[in-house]
Amino acid sequence: GLDLCKKLKARRDLPVIFLTARRRELDEIVGLEIGADDYITKPFSADIVLAHLRAVLRRISRPITEPRPAEEPLIVGPFALNPVSHTAKKNGSDLDLAPREFELLHMFMSYPERAFTSEELVEGVWGVEFVGEPQVLYVQVRSLRMKIEEDPSNPRHILTLRGVGYKFVP
């Protein structure tokens, strides 16, 4: 199983789930470290396997939630962003952005008009390891709106999509 997992992961980005009788913690760690996406030990029901399979497929089928490569400048509508010099402008005027505001704007500008869930934005800006309160995102969005919107209480560029998340409109 371990050798097959290594071979599959070396050639393709295929999801791999171990179904095994090996219950030792070390076996699970090794399986996950060499590339398995999940590890299920016996006994298990078909429903459990299907639930794990659906979870793995959800994780791998998520759209890309990372900004474009760091060196690529972006110009979207009135906004210009240069990741190398860490500068952003609106209509030619400099925007004084904190690092997280910059990353958030970079994310939005990388995918204009795309609806992002709050989870996607947190993952894209803070990383999948982020452990914190969801309010952190709301605070950053509000702060970014204060800096890029002409009327932050009636935003035209960072729109809240009720029940979904946010969308950037140039």
* Domains of the chain from N-terminus onward: 2-61 (3.40.50.2300), 74-168 (1.10.10.10)
Residues 91 and 93: their CA atoms lie apart, in Å, by: 6
The residue assigned the tokens 């371990």 is 2
What does R_g of the chain's alpha carbons equal in angstroms? 21
For the chain of 170 residues, list the mean pLDDT of each consecutive stretch of 10.
68 73 81 77 86 75 54 91 94 94 93 90 76 78 96 96 92
- DSSP classification of residue 30: H
User: Phi then psi for 62, rounded to 5 degrees?
Assistant: -65, 145
149: amino acid identity, one letter: E
